[in-house]
Amino acid sequence: MTIRQLLEHTSGAPNGSLELLLRHIEDPTSLEQQLEALGRDYADQEHIDAINDVPWTAPGQFVYSNAGYVALGMLVEEATGRSVEDLLRERVFGPAGMRHSSYPDEPGLNGPVLREDAWVGETWEGGWWDLDGFDPDVFSHAGAVVSTTADLAAFNEALLTGELVGPEVLQEMLTPTAASGFYGLGVYAVLDPCSTPEDPQLLWGHDGASFGTLSIVLGSADGTRQIAIGATGRDLSALVPRWDVGDLLVPALLATC
């Protein structure tokens, strides 16, 4: 595989997160085993081992892979001799002004934060999972950053205006691949509801989902408009959730026109 394939999710690698957890769950119906798996301390190599134990799709198809981004983080650390945490602090958090973001490797957060809770349906006692013991190593380089909506907006603005990468690299990132039609390198595009059919415009950003929270940040290409949303209480009980973050996202975007 190539680095570009990892960045654009066309390497053929499976997602990896579920495969990683299932290696430590004998009974998928056991709440205790699932919570224990979410609280385990995982090494990066375990993510790679998990996807190498299952079939891959053919290279060139778009398949979102968390494990692929774990591999990218491992490559960055090998190439620089520094940790992803240090590099994020120096090259992303600092320049973007993200004063309330961190890259934890242990469960637990201090201060006024969204709880990591998930709705799992009436079949479970109480209906809710308390995921305070969730270990960010479950996602590692693919999504272990803890942030705020203000910091997410600051990051997206800094990225889109060229403060974090040069213009040639940024253009590469913002060019959707043929395999997906909407995903570039680490970011994706959606149609701006403020634009017209005669002059369609795109918004750029990304979403993120742990097992109890959801977040999304989108911004205009010139960085003048940003919107970020964070929500807890993710619904894991059905394929169709009880609420859709898009119900809030679209009106919020229209309010920025």
172: which residues sit within 8 A by CB, 6+ positions away?
Answer: 184, 185
* Euclidean distance between CA atoms 72 and 142, whole angstroms: 9
Give the HSE-up count for residue 98: Cα atoms under 13 Å, Cβ half-sphere: 27
The structural domains of the chain, ordered by start, are 3-254 (3.40.710.10)
* Euclidean distance between CA atoms 128 and 35, whole angstroms: 12
Q: Are 245 and 227 in contact (CB under 8 A)?
A: no
pLDDT for 31: 80
Tokens of 3: 């680095």
pLDDT for 108: 84
Using alpha carbons, select from 114, 117, 118, 170 the residue that is nearest to residue 147. Answer: 114
pLDDT for 241: 73
Tokens of 213: 């929270």
Count of CB atoms within 10 A of residue 6's CB? 21
pLDDT for 178: 93
Give the strands of the sheet with 202-209, arranged side by side: 188-191, 202-209, 213-220, 226-232
* Euclidean distance between CA atoms 171 and 202, whole angstroms: 14
pLDDT for 112: 77
Tokens of 242: 């009880």
pLDDT for 130: 86
pLDDT for 233: 87
* Euclidean distance between CA atoms 155 and 149, whole angstroms: 10
Q: What is the mean pLDDT of each run of 10 residues along the chain (257 residues)?
A: 96 96 91 90 97 96 97 98 98 97 88 83 78 92 95 97 96 95 96 93 94 93 91 82 82 90
pLDDT for 132: 86
pLDDT for 88: 98
